[in-house]
Structure 1
């Protein structure tokens, strides 16, 4: 039997008789065991004494063993927390209301502008991005100075008021003004809401499951809201869909009011208009891990723009498919994203975030490149369904863990500003890729568009690998 020795060469502990070959003494330069548990951890003991080691190890402060079933708890276990459960339900209800409003807004644009409805919706989308990119840092810079619950409820009430006013407008400019106000409120609400969750669920495993649930909620909304709107439109006029949106925002406000929302940690930094509005972006761009996340945002936006902007052209323009075929293609993307969201919590317990996110971003570019090859040989419909499913999986694998990086990279007092910066900068990427994906197809063709977006996606993945140090978790 071998034992460790102290710096003078004397055995620390003996068990039984001296073994053949004598005691093995540690050299003076070796680290000395500092506790009973460490001694027993380095000394092989007989089988009959294994219970003693466990007893001493536990008495020295080590936690009791936890079963695999306890470690790998269900993703839905975080809903046992009342505060998080209410906030998650508020998010889901507000998302469904927003989905109904998206359908109703398209019909309202057609009612007001008829053949120019597409231009109206395109401008409304641009206004949304301007609000997200320009307004979010300004409002978010001061959001952490206000009571969180009151701020979130106020933003919900503003959105409800705008949705209530939309059915009564009859001018295009009125639509634009109301959309700007609504999206500005959303730009203030969303990152503040996101920054609240890690304060409610400080344990990383629980927070990861919450991120996956949030991703699942977004994907489910994309699938359910259009179907719900179609069912309602069979019974009521489209103006009543705005009422559904109002109800959604009011329910969200009531659920937020029903719980105690933790206030952001006080910041010791200097305050001022410039500091408050730019602090999040300065912290973000000064953190190598988050610079890598920004490059990953570009990769996601390039691949996602292909799906969001060009699915209708590929399915109906190239394949001559129906609205049902378009719904199937988009359902493949959403289904892939939901599958990844369900699997990620356990995967991230075993694999580092950096590895998962970089591999997923690379997969986005590879899938776009492969689909370009499929288009060139003509096997379009099966290839489209497979490609959109894989893009959904990879998209979710990149975006879902991003909240973990933000939580890990900044102090609690700076967390709201960092989430605002992520919200704004990620939408800058979308603001670049949306028009690129739309303009390239009529100018250069589908294959060239896929190749350009694939190159942009892979460039984002490579930049992320370079900017995000491998030593960072």
Structure 2
């Protein structure tokens, strides 16, 4: 019997999801405000562009460092407790930043520690969703969350800039701490108390390192989960384009406005694609379109190598993002396939790997743009990503080449 398609009304009918959604929205806004306010404050006090950039980049570096390690907490402790603790720690650290005369190195360190709370928070939340939402509600909620994340990233930066202009960085930090406190209230009042994901929480089966590597083994020793993850990571190589938007805009004789347009196209495409996939496509169509869309998201940027007109480049970037929305149903399939006891660690591995792939791809693209024109770099990255994705598609584990969402057994030894 085909799975019944769900809508936004169905997912918001679930009280726990309403609270998780609102708490996540507030935490995302808080993360963006922290990045904006601290970067401005550090630059204002130190005059160092490097320190300001390091403060901003810390929000991404913490996923690489803390993704696999700290997501263990979301499997070994009650996930509601992890969410609450992360929000309260972040609120407390932001309030400490408000103390007058706080040295700049301490501000950078506090920002880094606050950002370290993101991996366990997001991993715990992602792990809860398959338990809170049944049937097609889960992938629809994933689509909505993705859209909200894209919009919040832009709106959070804009809001931070406006608040700094109207008041000060300290004003933004007060608002920031408030968002985390409100998120904690929503979690405390809206989520039922629950046990840890595994009964082994009280008696860990080994060292922290062995607990971390257990999550890695669950993903990479299973062909199905490994294929899901590789498809996601390798398709995201095209985001290396973001690393060369400034020289790309310069190639077309544009300035800051052109840079903004180039940066906005792919996120806008993902947001629109998320709506189309989750609201207007059946669950079966979503599953069967994932592989073609994954290939399209990379291959559509190949013509950029020929230096087409700027409007064509913008359109191609938008279509790339539109097709890149395949990651929304893929994320839902991945979440349901991972054993519940390792779900948070699996999401931590996925996100840390994504940050590493995107970061290295951007660095490589930037280095290549020193030697060749940026449009050729974008086309070359698209070719590399397309070939990589086709390799994964050629070895896809499902006989009918469409992912399924049955649970995957834990590998022996884990």
What TM-score does the superposition give when structure 1 sets the normalisation length? 0.76
1:82 aligned onto 2:15: yes
Q: Of residues 381, 384, 398 in structure 2, which corresponds to 1:456?
A: 384
Instruction: Give the Å deviation of 1:250.
Output: 1.0
Q: 1:184 is matched with which residue?
A: 116
Q: Of residues 16, 33, 36 in structure 2, which corresponds to 1:100?
A: 33
CA offsets, 1:277-325, max 9 Å, x none? 1111101001212222232233343112313x2333333x334435444
Q: 1:334 is matched with which residue?
A: 267
| Gap change, CA 1:268 and 1:230, over 3 Å in 2 | closer
Q: 2:233 is matched with which residue?
A: 298
Structure 2 counterparts to residues 6-21 of structure 1, below 5 A: none
Q: Which moved more, 1:161-170 or 1:359-368?
A: 161-170
| Gap change, CA 1:132 and 1:73, over 3 Å in 2 | closer
| Gap change, CA 1:468 and 1:429, over 3 Å in 2 | same
Q: Of residues 378, 386, 391 in structure 1, which corresponds to 2:320?
A: 391
Instruction: Give the Å deviation of 1:78.
Output: 0.3
User: Higher Cα Rg: structure 1 or 2?
Assistant: 1
Instruction: Give the Å deviation of 1:271.
Output: 1.2
Q: 2:188 is matched with which residue?
A: 257
Give the Cα–Cα distance (whole angstroms) in 1 for the partners of residues 320 and 123 of structure 2: 25
CA offsets, 1:403-460, max 9 Å, x none? 3222332222222222222222222322322312322222333133213311331133
Structure 2 counterparts to residues 165-176 of structure 1, below 5 A: 165-167=96-98, 168=100, 171-176=103-108
Question: Conserved in 1, the CA contact under 8 Å of 2:293 and 2:324?
Answer: yes
Question: Conserved in 2, the CA contact under 8 Å of 1:132 and 1:184?
Answer: yes
Q: Which moved more, 1:224-233 or 1:91-100?
A: 224-233
Q: Of residues 283, 288, 299 in structure 2, which corresponds to 1:349?
A: 283
> What do you get for the CA RMSD once the two structures are aligned?
2.7
| Gap change, CA 1:232 and 1:415, over 3 Å in 2 | same
| Gap change, CA 1:331 and 1:112, over 3 Å in 2 | same
1:432 aligned onto 2:373: no
Question: Conserved in 2, the CA contact under 8 Å of 1:341 and 1:400?
Answer: yes
Give the Cα–Cα distance (whole angstroms) in 2 for the partners of residues 464 and 265 of structure 1: 31
Give the Cα–Cα distance (whole angstroms) in 1 for the partners of residues 360 and 101 of structure 2: 31
Structure 2 counterparts to residues 216-235 of structure 1, below 5 A: 216-235=147-166
Aligned residues: 395
Give the Cα–Cα distance (whole angstroms) in 1 for the partners of residues 199 and 349 of structure 2: 17
Q: Of residues 270, 277, 280 in structure 1, which corresponds to 2:215?
A: 280
| Gap change, CA 1:228 and 1:276, over 3 Å in 2 | same
Q: 2:87 is matched with which residue?
A: 156
| Gap change, CA 1:103 and 1:341, over 3 Å in 2 | same
Give the Cα–Cα distance (whole angstroms) in 1 for the partners of residues 341 and 260 of structure 2: 43
Give the Cα–Cα distance (whole angstroms) in 1 for the partners of residues 139 and 126 of structure 2: 12
Question: Conserved in 1, the CA contact under 8 Å of 2:43 and 2:52?
Answer: no
Question: Conserved in 2, the CA contact under 8 Å of 1:162 and 1:178?
Answer: yes
* Unaligned stretches of 5+ residues in structure 2: 405-414
Q: 1:30 is matched with which residue?
A: none
| Gap change, CA 1:360 and 1:153, over 3 Å in 2 | same
Q: Of residues 117, 123, 129 in structure 2, which corresponds to 1:197?
A: 129
Q: Of residues 63, 66, 69 in structure 2, which corresponds to 1:138?
A: 69
Q: Of residues 243, 246, 257 in structure 2, which corresponds to 1:312?
A: 246
Q: Of residues 291, 295, 300 in structure 2, which corresponds to 1:362?
A: 295
Instruction: Give the Å deviation of 1:342.
Output: 0.8
Q: 1:419 is matched with which residue?
A: 347
Instruction: Give the Å deviation of 1:255.
Output: 0.6
What TM-score does the superposition give when structure 2 sets the normalisation length? 0.86
Give the Cα–Cα distance (whole angstroms) in 2 for the partners of residues 344 and 88 of structure 1: 20
Give the Cα–Cα distance (whole angstroms) in 2 for the partners of residues 285 and 169 of structure 1: 48
Instruction: Give the Å deviation of 1:247.
Output: 1.2
Give the Cα–Cα distance (whole angstroms) in 2 for the partners of residues 438 and 172 of structure 1: 29
Give the Cα–Cα distance (whole angstroms) in 2 for the partners of residues 324 and 105 of structure 1: 25
